[in-house]
Amino acid sequence: MEVIEYNTPEFKEYIKNAPISLDKAWELQLKYLSDTNKEIVGSPLFFIINDKYLFTPYYNPKIPEVRIEGIVIDSITGDASYISETIKLKPKSQFGWKK
């Protein structure tokens, strides 16, 4: 599992080449919420996991793990879906995350 944290050098490099921009991913997240009759609020983006933008309200930087749940937008195709995994990510160091 490849995990890229928001605003890291790796993140900035990734989004330069991603076919779906961050702005477009945000719009696709809101469209997904609208199409599924969920409250249209939107969640922040904290990670890219396996080429998918993960918008999740389930991350608090003060708690050293994050549940993989929220709306994902494929950064290549733009496909949107909701995931709820039992997997939690934990920081392996100040430089990255692990499953």
Number of compact structural domains in the chain: 1
pTM: 0.79
- The reply to whether 97 falls in a domain is no
CB of 90 within 8 A of CB of 1? Answer: no
Longest Cα–Cα distance of the chain, Å, equals 39
- The reply to whether 80 falls in a domain is yes
- The predicted-structure confidence for 20-64, as pLDDT tens digits, reads as follows 999 999 999 999 988 887 765 678 888 888 999 988 877 766 666
Domain residues for the domain of 20 are 3-91
Q: What is the pLDDT of residue 51?
A: 94
Task: Give the chain's radius of gyration (CA, Å).
Answer: 13
